[in-house]
Structure 1
Amino acid sequence: MRTPVIAAAAGALALSLGLTACGSESGSGGGDGDTLVVGATPTPAGEVLTYIKDNLAKKEGLDLRITEFTDYVAPNTALQEGSLDANLYQHAPYLKDFNESKKTDLAPVTEVYLPPMGVYAKKTKDVADLPAGATVAVPNDTTNEGRALQLLASKGVIGLKKGVGGTATPQDITSNPKKLTIKPLEPAQLPRSLEDVDAAVINNNYALDADLSPKKDAILLESPKDNPYNNVLAVKKGDEDDPRVKKLAKLLTSPEVKQFIEDKYKGSVLPVAAS
């Protein structure tokens, strides 16, 4: 399996410089007692966790500390090394691939929401209208690249080898009637790439961070039906039954959080119970 195309040095830099603690709390290690240190990307995971911290955690006797990260590698590295107790930002296929490629030992606890991936373009209103020879940027990590190619294939823009599923790569493209150029990029760069490419397949959190509305702005959006890419609360294997983790899992799947997600994101993020 291919290793995600992200330099180890960049991951280390993100871990040391690219994370920010929410609120006034800080700390270099996991939580003690009832404190749970959770890593997250700012949107939507950080916002969902902040809602829980401000409105629900105290009643459950949970002291929630949130640490935000700007990439997809550092939150799992920190969880494996023990400076986090849990994280929320990734889907199970990415977590599985990360464990295999990085030799980590992380486990999903519960599914929380679906952040649908979308295709965005500055000048095109329908993915079927992409011009011949168009350049389409996609995420460069193994699982999200395959996910992006599957999304394009779902509308016949490209054809893929039968059975490749979420592990598809550009080499698995069997038909390309518009002769598209597929350009893998680091996921965080994809919103900025819209100035230079004809379209980009962008992960939901980076789209929201760039003030793009998946529901309104995407020219093609994933369907929630039978979608395997729900984001999960993850912990180091063996910590699934930690009472603090169980409290957070209960809150993340509560009616209150479901309502918060529906009200705030208006269809751009879908709580698992509603998907």
Structure 2
Amino acid sequence: MTTGFTSFPLAGIALSVAFAFSAQAETLRVAADPVPHAEILNFVKKSDPQLDLKIIELTSGINANELLAHGDVDANYFQHVPYLKEQEKALGQTFVVAATVHIEPLGIYSRKVKTLQAVPDGATVAVPNNVTNLSRSLYLLQKEGLIKLKAGYNDPSKNQATPKDIAENPKHLKILEVESPQIPRTLDDVQLAVINGNYALEAGLTPAKDALGLESAVNNPYANILVTTPKLANDPRIKQLAKDLESTQVAGFIQQNYNGSVIPVAGK
């Protein structure tokens, strides 16, 4: 009788454990920009084989936050917090930051001039057309002495800048707003281009070497993040991926492979 009685709870426990393992072992779908995000995720996939990752590389025109909101992916890894906040407003959604991983310094590039001092009067500057990276670009142009924003515009985390907020423009620069992924293609047509780090890398540029001006990583509010939904925030798979992305191993991978063009903010 004793043996027969104890077999039921043991069977129940076994089923519960099997169910929990099965749920945890389900594929985790993560949307990511090809460089460096998908490359970093592929490193995690190899170093943590127990985490079943499906990496969905983003192409131009696909909004990874819409994919996440619609349940087409479980997380995304491509953006920074200021951009995420704008997306939450635009989509009427609330998301959760699961991990803070790296910084891709925004850079100023040119195929027309070799120094910022040589920028001619009336030069055209291609900049990202989304609100946060446009503001970020203007702050970088101010940092490099090419423009001056209105009084009070000295902290990009507090004030979003637009071209209307340019107070001084001694070289009469023309600001040309372009879709971020397309900006590297403008390099033959404009004097300067302000390019996100990931798109610079995809275009074969090395930000730490090729940029005429580069954002500082110190107190930079634009660290790239792993984002998920409130429903999945405590999912063991998300927790494990977050732990992996903030690990010393991933920090080492970033440092060894991107030569200062991508800078880890965790695990150092």
Instruction: Report the CA distance between 1:273 and its aligned residue.
Output: 3.3
Name the structure 1 match of 2:255.
Answer: 262
SS of the residue 2:82 aligns to: helix
Q: Does 1:129 align with 2:140?
A: no
Name the structure 1 match of 2:13.
Answer: none
Instruction: Select 1:190's aligned residue among 164, 174, 183.
Output: 183
Name the structure 2 match of 1:38.
Answer: 30
Instruction: Select 1:96's aligned residue among 71, 82, 85.
Output: 85
8 Å contact from structure 2 (residues 250, 267) kept in 1: no
- The unaligned stretches of length 5 or more in structure 2 are 1-21
Instruction: Report the CA distance between 1:73 and its aligned residue.
Output: 5.0
- The unaligned stretches of length 5 or more in structure 1 are 1-30
8 Å contact from structure 2 (residues 100, 266) kept in 1: no
- Cα separation, 2, equivalents of 1:274 and 1:211: 27
Instruction: Report the CA distance between 1:102 and its aligned residue.
Output: 2.0
The correspondence of residues 128-147 of structure 1 with structure 2, limited to 5 A, is 128-147=117-136
Instruction: Report the CA distance between 1:71 and its aligned residue.
Output: 3.5
- Identity rate, percent: 46
C-alpha distance after superposition, 1:88-141 (max 9, x if no partner): 000000000110122122121121000111000002222232111100000000
Q: Does 1:149 align with 2:141?
A: no
The correspondence of residues 48-197 of structure 1 with structure 2, limited to 5 A, is 48-54=40-46, 56-58=47-49, 61-71=50-60, 73-164=62-153, 165=156, 167-197=160-190
8 Å contact from structure 2 (residues 248, 267) kept in 1: no
- Cα separation, 2, equivalents of 1:33 and 1:190: 40
Structure 1 or 2, whichever has the larger Rg, is: 2
Amino acid at match of 2:172: K
Amino acid at match of 1:64: L
8 Å contact from structure 1 (residues 157, 176) kept in 2: yes
Instruction: Select 1:204's aligned residue among 185, 194, 197.
Output: 197
8 Å contact from structure 1 (residues 41, 71) kept in 2: no
Amino acid at match of 2:225: V
Paired residues, number: 242
TM-score normalised to structure 1 length: 0.84
Amino acid at match of 1:201: V
- Cα separation, 2, equivalents of 1:252 and 1:225: 20
Alignment CA distance shift 1:273-1:126 (3 Å): farther
Point out 4+ residue stretches in structure 1 off by more than 4 angstroms.
none
Instruction: Report the CA distance between 1:229 and its aligned residue.
Output: 0.4
- Cα separation, 2, equivalents of 1:153 and 1:32: 50
Q: For the aligned residues, what is the CA RMSD? A: 1.6
Alignment CA distance shift 1:186-1:32 (3 Å): farther
8 Å contact from structure 1 (residues 128, 155) kept in 2: no
SS of the residue 2:232 aligns to: coil
